[in-house]
Amino acid sequence: MLGYVEDSFAVFDALSFSCLLLATFAVSAVFSKWLMFSSVLIITALSSCLLLINHEYFLMYESYISKSTLPLLNDLLYALKHFITGSILVPLLLSVAFIVGLIFVFRKHSADLPKLLSLGVAFTALLLYFGSANIHAQRYEIQRLLLKGDKYDFKFENPVLYFARSFFEFDEAVLKRNAYRNSFSSGIKNEAKFNLPEEFHYKNFKSLIPKYTGYHHAELEREAFKFLPNIGEDYQSDIKLTAPPMNVILIVLESLRSYETISSEKHDSLTPNLNKMAKKGVYFKNFYSTNRVTVKSETAMLCGLLDTQKDAPLSVFHEGLDAQCLPKILASHGYHTQWIHGYTTEFFNRGKFLPSVGVKELYGIESFETDGYDIEQNIGWGVPDTQLFEKALTKLEQGKTPFFAEVLTLTNHQPFDWDYYDIEFPDELAKPSKDVYENYKKGIYYTDYALGQFWEKFQSSDLRENTILVITADHGVPFFPSDMHSGRKQFDTLFKMPLLIIGPEIEAATDNIRSSHLDIAPTILSLLNIREPVSFLGRPLLGNGREETDRPIFLYNMKNYGFLYGDMSCLPVDDMCEVNQQGCFPLDDKTCQAKGGALPVDLEAIPAMKSYIDLLMMARYKNF
């Protein structure tokens, strides 16, 4: 019904699940009719909920919910209401009605059914369960023999059984490794006196740490990315602090990829306003998101650090992040720091995470309602982008200065099939569609329309002369046009985002440097001429501190990651080297390819840096 069964192994897993349910219902019937009725209803409801959540979760992240995703349970349930559409709800209700009908039939004739029959049904179902479960358990060995490959594929799984198995699969080697790593992160957190093991030392990946104009590497064993401002150099004399200081608005557009925006001639009509604005500032053509989850991307943008968790964000597990993040640094220089969004501040635990990184004021849908907003005006998940931008501009014009504000849009969010009541779409977008990608394009156009309204009002506001606009997006979505088949092209499209910086003294240009979310915080500090000790992975793209050296770029998916450095790409895609085998080298579950065939760094430096980042982030989060 939900389209999960895509492989013969998944059929066996689905059979196992069905037999397990049948055995449970048959055994409960032996003890009590009411026990059976309640177990059928409760288990059916819980399984249906899990299937519904998994359906959208898989579409977005190509993985299923597991034990490690449990911290997201409240957020997933809260989001579920946005995904229950008629196409899913109608067949689900029909299935539940059918089961309830069977219950009443059984209730009427239960006196004629001996308990031995129920036990026989349960026993037979359990035999079938163990048989099909055993076949499914051999899937990797069978796949290696028949398909000559051992790549993990979620198409082999039933979502409910995958979730259940995640509680009982214990890899002793993984447990030992985690305990080993946790002991050192705890030592760093508590400032215990010890030397880090050789494998975590920064000399293993020093070649990947970019130089930093006007700064020098602190060479601290436990803070490998720490850089300190130089004192007494010519660079210092170039610094002229603006008076009054410049405001900064960081606009983060929900799910807006570069492919459909400025950089694509094919889709110019989708973002006419963003395209127009790009002629007023510096547009970065090769800019990437670091992650697939908004709050993880915010960690990169605001703190210059990477959330390396495969499933739930670190912000959900813990009270907050202990790091010198952009809002915290700006607050120490007299800036009022704020975050404005059309959804709840509790989603992904932002109510605790954002204050920990220095955001003083959070303005979510709760604040909109307090100020008189009617939730009946919601489009999709919450406040429409048009009203979000209108409120943000009014609030910033009337508020404290100097300020730093992140304005995070919402309307262009999965599943994208919203009823837009305040816009007229062009003919090619106006027609109704059940295709996710077609609806996604409609969401892009709407967000651009709202951004255009903001830009028009911003240009006539008092903020225009003393405010820097930084416009980017949080992450991509795994929905592509029907003619895009290359795994490499899809992976690049998934992570490549727009970045546009507009300011009073910034000349219009197009920049080809390869960069990422990690570069946003250092760039803003560079533009403001603020120099502080930092532990950023990124480097400034503009200002006195502009750095053109290659920087490492991690692209974290939910089940794997990619890596870019200079002209080298290391990606977990099958067709990485289909066209050109020159310069191809294996790395874990990735293939690396460099232009000209010469790799710019030792490949061992990549996993070494990733291991250290994992360690560093655990040490930086409170109550880890």
Q: Write the DSSP assignment of 58-115 as a string of letters.
A: HHHHSS---GGGGGGHHHHHHHHTTT--HHHHHHHHHHHHHHHHHHHHHHHHGGGS-H
Helices (H), 431-545: 436-459, 487-495, 520-527
**Residue 2 and residue 87: Cα distance in Å, rounded?**
10
624 CB-near residues (< 8 Å, 6+ apart): 182, 185, 186, 189, 317, 318, 618
pLDDT at 27: 82
Q: In one letter, which amino acid is 238?
A: D
**How does residue 67 score in pLDDT terms, banded at 50, 70 and 90?**
confident
pLDDT at 86: 54
> Does residue 561 surpass a pLDDT of 60?
yes
Q: What are phi and psi of 616, to 5 degrees?
A: -60, -45
pLDDT at 438: 93
* Average pLDDT along the chain: 85
Hey, what are 445's tokens? 């156009």
Under CATH, to which class is 206-620 assigned? alpha beta
Hey, what are 120's tokens? 């026989």
Question: 473 forms bridges with which residues in the sheet?
Answer: 253
Considering only CA atoms, which of 190, 332, 337, 303 is closest in space to residue 536? 303
Of 20 and 413, the one with more pLDDT: 413
250 class by beta-carbon count within 10 Å (0-12 exposed, 13-18 middle, 19+ buried) = buried
How confident is the model over 73-105, as pLDDT tens digits?
A: 677 766 766 766 555 566 566 666 666 666 666
Helix H, strand E, coil C: the string for 326-384 is HHHHHHHCCCEEEEEECCCCCHHHHHHHHHHCCCCEEECHHHHHHCCCCHHHCECCECC
Hey, what are 432's tokens? 């109704």
Helix (H) or strand (E) holding 231: none
Q: Parse the chain into domains and list their residue ranges.
A: 8-165, 206-620
How confident is the model over 201-211, as pLDDT tens digits?
A: 999 999 999 99
How confident is the model over 57-66, as pLDDT tens digits?
A: 887 787 888 8
pLDDT at 378: 94
How confident is the model over 296-309, as pLDDT tens digits?
A: 999 999 999 999 88
Q: What's 573's DSSP letter?
A: -
Q: In one letter, which amino acid is 377?
A: Q
> Does residue 457 surpass a pLDDT of 90?
yes
pLDDT at 118: 76
Question: 621 forms bridges with which residues in the sheet?
Answer: 321
> Does residue 232 surpass a pLDDT of 80?
no
Region of residue 214 (left: phi > 0; alpha: psi -120 to 50; beta: else): left
**Residue 446 and residue 384: Cα distance in Å, rounded?**
9
In b/e form, how buried is each residue of 334-356, taking b as 16+ CB within 10 angstroms?
ebbbbbbbbbbbebbbbebbbbb
Q: What are phi and psi of 514, to 5 degrees?
A: -85, 120
Question: 471 forms bridges with which residues in the sheet?
Answer: 251, 500
Q: How many CA atoms lie within 13 A of 405 on its CB side?
A: 29
**How does residue 239 score in pLDDT terms, banded at 50, 70 and 90?**
very low
> Does residue 35 surpass a pLDDT of 80?
no
**Residue 622 and residue 620: Cα distance in Å, rounded?**
7
Region of poorest pLDDT, from 348-352, 411-415, 573-577? 573-577
How confident is the model over 391-410, as pLDDT tens digits?
A: 999 999 999 999 999 999 99
What does pTM read for this prediction?
0.87
Region of poorest pLDDT, from 242-246, 473-477, 557-561? 242-246
The counts of H helices and E strands in the chain are 21, 16
Residues of the chain with pLDDT > 90: what percent?
49
> Does residue 594 surpass a pLDDT of 60?
yes
244 class by beta-carbon count within 10 Å (0-12 exposed, 13-18 middle, 19+ buried) = exposed
Rank 35-49, 135-149, 325-339 by mean pLDDT and report only the highest: 325-339
In b/e form, how buried is each residue of 71-85, taking b as 16+ CB within 10 angstroms?
bbeebbeebeebbee
**How does residue 241 score in pLDDT terms, banded at 50, 70 and 90?**
very low
**How does residue 585 score in pLDDT terms, banded at 50, 70 and 90?**
confident
Q: Is the dihedral of CA 375, 301, 257, 502 positive or negative?
A: positive
Question: 571 forms bridges with which residues in the sheet?
Answer: 591
Hey, what are 563's tokens? 């890596």
pLDDT at 413: 92
Residues of the chain with pLDDT > 70: what percent?
85
> Does residue 5 surpass a pLDDT of 60?
no
pLDDT at 123: 81
427 CB-near residues (< 8 Å, 6+ apart): none
Length of the chain: 624
How confident is the model over 471-482, as pLDDT tens digits?
A: 999 999 999 999
Do residues 359 and 330 lie in contact, with contact meaning Cβ atoms separated by under 8 Å?
no
**Residue 583 and residue 151: Cα distance in Å, rounded?**
23
pLDDT at 235: 47
pLDDT at 475: 95
